Amino acid sequence: METLLLAFAIAVAIVALVLYFELKNTQERVEKIRTEIEQRMSLTIQNAMHDTSEKIPQIEKRVEEIAQKVAETEAEVHSMTAKNNAPQQE
Protein backbone atom coordinates (compact mmCIF):
# COMPACT_ATOMS: atom_id res chain seq x y z
CA MET A 1 0.00 0.00 0.00
CA GLU A 2 2.81 2.41 0.89
CA THR A 3 4.60 1.58 -2.36
CA LEU A 4 1.46 2.35 -4.33
CA LEU A 5 1.03 5.64 -2.49
CA LEU A 6 4.68 6.52 -3.08
CA ALA A 7 4.37 5.68 -6.80
CA PHE A 8 1.24 7.84 -7.03
CA ALA A 9 3.01 10.74 -5.30
CA ILE A 10 5.96 10.44 -7.68
CA ALA A 11 3.62 10.35 -10.68
CA VAL A 12 1.79 13.46 -9.43
CA ALA A 13 5.13 15.22 -8.87
CA ILE A 14 6.27 14.33 -12.41
CA VAL A 15 3.00 15.57 -13.90
CA ALA A 16 3.27 18.79 -11.87
CA LEU A 17 6.84 19.28 -13.06
CA VAL A 18 5.88 18.70 -16.70
CA LEU A 19 2.96 21.12 -16.38
CA TYR A 20 5.24 23.71 -14.76
CA PHE A 21 7.72 23.54 -17.63
CA GLU A 22 4.93 23.68 -20.22
CA LEU A 23 3.50 26.73 -18.47
CA LYS A 24 6.93 28.36 -18.40
CA ASN A 25 7.46 27.65 -22.12
CA THR A 26 4.00 28.99 -22.93
CA GLN A 27 4.67 32.17 -20.96
CA GLU A 28 7.95 32.67 -22.80
CA ARG A 29 6.24 32.20 -26.17
CA VAL A 30 3.50 34.63 -25.20
CA GLU A 31 6.12 37.19 -24.14
CA LYS A 32 7.99 36.78 -27.45
CA ILE A 33 4.77 37.18 -29.42
CA ARG A 34 3.74 40.22 -27.39
CA THR A 35 7.15 41.82 -27.93
CA GLU A 36 6.96 41.12 -31.66
CA ILE A 37 3.44 42.58 -31.86
CA GLU A 38 4.56 45.70 -29.97
CA GLN A 39 7.52 46.14 -32.33
CA ARG A 40 5.33 45.71 -35.40
CA MET A 41 2.72 48.13 -34.05
CA SER A 42 5.40 50.69 -33.26
CA LEU A 43 6.90 50.35 -36.73
CA THR A 44 3.48 50.59 -38.37
CA ILE A 45 2.63 53.72 -36.39
CA GLN A 46 5.99 55.30 -37.23
CA ASN A 47 5.52 54.53 -40.93
CA ALA A 48 2.00 55.94 -40.89
CA MET A 49 3.18 59.11 -39.17
CA HIS A 50 6.03 59.49 -41.66
CA ASP A 51 3.74 58.93 -44.65
CA THR A 52 1.20 61.38 -43.25
CA SER A 53 3.81 64.04 -42.57
CA GLU A 54 5.03 63.74 -46.16
CA LYS A 55 1.49 64.22 -47.49
CA ILE A 56 0.62 67.25 -45.36
CA PRO A 57 2.22 69.82 -47.73
CA GLN A 58 0.37 68.27 -50.68
CA ILE A 59 -2.90 68.37 -48.76
CA GLU A 60 -2.30 71.98 -47.72
CA LYS A 61 -1.62 72.97 -51.33
CA ARG A 62 -4.78 71.24 -52.51
CA VAL A 63 -6.83 72.95 -49.78
CA GLU A 64 -5.43 76.32 -50.88
CA GLU A 65 -6.35 75.56 -54.50
CA ILE A 66 -9.88 74.61 -53.50
CA ALA A 67 -10.19 77.71 -51.29
CA GLN A 68 -9.12 79.87 -54.25
CA LYS A 69 -11.70 78.23 -56.51
CA VAL A 70 -14.39 78.75 -53.88
CA ALA A 71 -13.41 82.42 -53.55
CA GLU A 72 -13.56 82.85 -57.34
CA THR A 73 -16.95 81.16 -57.51
CA GLU A 74 -18.27 83.33 -54.67
CA ALA A 75 -17.04 86.43 -56.51
CA GLU A 76 -18.79 85.29 -59.70
CA VAL A 77 -22.02 84.61 -57.83
CA HIS A 78 -21.79 87.98 -56.10
CA SER A 79 -21.16 89.68 -59.45
CA MET A 80 -24.09 87.89 -61.09
CA THR A 81 -26.35 88.73 -58.16
CA ALA A 82 -25.31 92.37 -58.31
CA LYS A 83 -26.04 92.50 -62.06
CA ASN A 84 -29.44 90.89 -61.58
CA ASN A 85 -30.35 93.23 -58.73
CA ALA A 86 -29.19 96.39 -60.53
CA PRO A 87 -32.01 98.59 -61.79
CA GLN A 88 -32.55 98.00 -65.43
CA GLN A 89 -32.64 101.00 -67.73
CA GLU A 90 -35.21 101.03 -70.42
Q: pLDDT tens digits, residue range 60-83? A: 999 999 999 999 999 999 988 888
Q: Flag residues of the chain having pLDDT under 70.
A: 87-90
Q: What is the pLDDT of residue 81?
A: 87
The candidate with the shortest Cα–Cα distance to 61, out of 69, 49, 51, 72, is 69
Q: What is the pLDDT of residue 56?
A: 92
Amino acid of residue 50: H
Q: What is the pLDDT of residue 25?
A: 98
HEC assignment per residue over the chain: CHHHHHHHHHHHHHHHHHHHHHHHHHHHHHHHHHHHHHHHHHHHHHHHHHHHHHHHHHHHHHHHHHHHHHHHHHHHHHHHHHHHHCCCCC
